[in-house]
């Protein structure tokens, strides 16, 4: 009996020791988890602060201002509800801005992606000297928008510009690149396509480099030509990259501002007055911060809807490995 009690006491003691070890282990896991969370939030803190200061606060402030009228100094004068939005949608200039922005996106996005894709495919081979072409096609990415716009403003100059000089050599009348409503948006689109070429080219070239070479060798052994190989192998495997470039390019087209401000300032006759430039004019030239903020909210909603539509419908065509 004594031995039984003794063995029972030993069993209870061992259980208590195991329970104590489990509690210590659980406590150490909690402390380790707290340390990991603290370390993660420490690394995230700079980004969260920057997002809060430069994104979340301006967005909340824009929503607030869009519901108020302001005086010429930018101070809130009165609560007007949705009157700013009603004024905006009844304005013919606002609808003109939407039309110009959509046309600008149609001119720049498809041509820019197609041109970058062709150049990436042509320089995908490992021939000698191909690095020079890759460097040249990537070069626009290192230039700022302001510098690029100044360079192209000289190229578009009606009398001193290179383009009209070349046309004169061909006995063609000079083109009013930036001074004609029929040519201004087209000219800005050319400059924007060139400016975005570097980014699109690097992304698409990287996508092509990620396709395994053995797939091309297998297609070659089966007798497939270069065009068939590109269409049946490169394009499906490159579709995630093309989708990414398309989404980024459309968002960039709707946010274009600097090149239009330098080249045309929205003119002539509002032919290049895109959405963002209209917001700039309304808020910082006319000092109507209420309607300017309302336009900014509408632009945010338009870009959000376009991005959601692309992820909902276009992404179905994307082939993921």
pLDDT (tens digit, 9 = 90+) per residue, 63-73? 999 998 888 77
Look up the pTM and report it: 0.81
DSSP code, position 174: P
Separation of alpha carbons 288 and 273, rounded Å: 17
Separation of alpha carbons 71 and 43, rounded Å: 42
pLDDT score of 166: 92
pLDDT score of 98: 87
pLDDT score of 106: 94
pLDDT (tens digit, 9 = 90+) per residue, 154-164? 999 888 889 99
Separation of alpha carbons 14 and 242, rounded Å: 64
Separation of alpha carbons 190 and 177, rounded Å: 11
Q: Provide the sign of the torsion angle of the four alpha carbons 263, 264, 265, 271, taken in this order.
A: negative
Q: What is the CATH number of domain 85-317?
A: 1.10.3720.10
Phi, psi of 121 (to 5 degrees): -70, -40
Separation of alpha carbons 220 and 236, rounded Å: 17
Separation of alpha carbons 58 and 51, rounded Å: 10
pLDDT score of 8: 55
Domain definitions of the chain by residue range: 30-79, 85-317
Contact status, residue 283 vs residue 77, Cβ threshold 8 Å: no
Phi, psi of 79 (to 5 degrees): -80, 125
pLDDT score of 30: 87
pLDDT score of 60: 92
pLDDT score of 3: 55
User: pLDDT of the chain along its 321 residues, tens only?
Assistant: 555 555 555 566 677 777 777 777 777 888 888 999 999 999 999 999 999 999 899 899 999 999 988 887 778 888 888 898 888 888 777 888 889 999 999 999 999 999 999 999 888 877 777 888 888 888 888 888 888 899 999 999 888 889 999 999 999 999 999 999 999 999 999 999 999 999 999 999 999 888 888 888 888 888 888 888 888 888 888 888 999 999 999 999 999 999 999 999 988 888 899 989 989 988 888 888 888 899 999 999 999 998 898 888 877 777 666
């Amino acid at each position: 009996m004594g031995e039984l009690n003794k063995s029972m006491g030993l069993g209870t003691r061992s259980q208590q020791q195991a329970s104590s070890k489990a509690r210590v282990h659980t406590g150490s896991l909690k402390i380790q988890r707290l340390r990991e969370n603290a370390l993660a939030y420490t690394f995230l803190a700079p980004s969260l602060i920057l997002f809060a200061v430069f994104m979340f606060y301006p967005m909340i402030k824009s929503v607030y201002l869009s519901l108020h009228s302001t005086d010429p100094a930018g101070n809130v004068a009165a609560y007007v509800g949705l009157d700013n939005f009603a004024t905006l949608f009844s304005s013919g200039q606002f609808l003109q801005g939407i039309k110009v922005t959509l046309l600008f996106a149609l001119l720049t996005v498809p041509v820019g992606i197609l041109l970058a894709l062709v150049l990436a495919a042509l320089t995908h081979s490992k021939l000698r000297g191909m690095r020079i072409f890759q460097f040249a096609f990537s070069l626009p990415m290192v230039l700022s928008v302001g510098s690029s716009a100044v360079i192209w403003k000289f190229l578009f100059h009606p009398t001193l510009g290179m383009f009209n000089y070349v046309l004169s050599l061909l006995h063609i009348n000079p083109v009013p690149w930036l001074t004609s409503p029929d040519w201004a948006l087209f000219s800005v689109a050319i400059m924007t396509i060139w400016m975005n070429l570097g980014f699109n080219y690097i992304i698409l070239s990287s996508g092509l480099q990620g396709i395994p070479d053995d797939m091309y060798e297998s297609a070659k052994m089966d007798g497939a030509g270069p065009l068939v190989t590109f269409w049946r192998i490169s394009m499906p495997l490159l579709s995630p990259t093309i989708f990414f470039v398309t989404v980024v390019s459309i968002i960039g087209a709707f946010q274009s501002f600097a090149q239009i401000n330098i080249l045309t300032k929205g003119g002539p006759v509002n032919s290049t007055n895109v959405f963002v430039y209209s917001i700039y004019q309304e808020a910082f030239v006319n000092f109507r911060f209420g309607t300017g903020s309302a336009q900014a909210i509408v632009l945010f909603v338009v870009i959000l809807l376009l991005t959601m539509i692309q992820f909902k419908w276009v992404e179905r065509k994307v082939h993921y490995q």
